[in-house]
Structure 1
Amino acid sequence: MTPARLARTIAPAILLAALTACTSPEERAARAQAQLAADKAECTELGFTETTEPFGNCLLKLREIRALEADTQARRQAAAQAFWGPNWPFYYDRWRRHPYGW
């Protein structure tokens, strides 16, 4: 993926996430329609023909990628704010050894 295409894909998602916090339902619906239009343009640019199953799969994959990015961001923020997180001195995680060998 070229840097220009990457910027065109990521920049609207970042802008959308930043502006979603304080909007009305009408603004959110308009933003969702704009995102759908951008996704359709991206899938068309990738060579998919509209109203075909692969085109629909492309739209779903783009939505899934955005959802995963939002989930990752939320998890990072939660981990940074958690009291009992990885930076706490006696943190224990069942998938890792305890730092003091307990």
Structure 2
Amino acid sequence: MRIVRTFLAIAAVATLAACVSPQEQAAQTAAERQADAAECKEIGFTEGTEAFADCMLRLKEIRAEKEHTEALRRARTPSPWWGPYPGYPYRYYPPYYW
């Protein structure tokens, strides 16, 4: 019983640690926007022009595509805890003679 309580406590702490407050999320978004603006200025675009807005939009699209690709990679990567899986280096046949 003690193990179950300990596990639940650890799971609760891990869940709460993964939460991001709206202020932190807004700060991260603002930092990304500043970095994008600095990169577009460094390339040579003038702030307030159509080309600058297009540059900002493209950088945002690139970031979204990168996040999407990373999410797909994480979804396709099997858990190391479950043993052999499709695509494993060798064929696995469970012993049916137990």
Q: TM-score, normalised by structure 1?
A: 0.59
Partner of 1:80: 77
Q: Does 1:32 align with 2:29?
A: yes
Q: Which runs of 4+ in 1 moved over 3 A?
A: none
Q: Is 2:16 aligned against 1:22?
A: no
CA shift at 1:22, angstroms? Answer: 3.4
Which residue in 2 is equivalent to 1:45? 42
Aligned with 2:44: secondary structure?
A: coil
* 1:86 CA drift (Å): 5.7
Indicate whether 1:59 and 2:66 are aligned: no
Residue segments in structure 2 that go unaligned for 5+ positions in a row: 1-17, 92-98
Q: Which runs of 5+ in 1 are unaligned?
A: 1-20, 90-102
Q: Over aligned residue pairs, what C-alpha RMSD do you find?
A: 2.1
In 2, Cα distance between the equivalents of 1:58 and 1:45? 11
| TM-score normalised by L of structure 2 | 0.61
Find the aligned partners of 1:66 and 1:41 in 2 and give their Cα distance.
Answer: 15
Separation in 2 of the partners of 1:87 and 1:79? 11
Provide, for residues 36-74 of structure 1, a one-character-per-residue CA deviation record: whole Å limited to 9, x for no partner.
Answer: 111100000000000000000000000011111111111
Aligned residues: 68
Q: Identity across aligned pairs (percent)?
A: 49
Structure 2 vs 1, CA of residues 68 and 86 (structure 1 numbering), >3 Å: closer, same or farther? farther
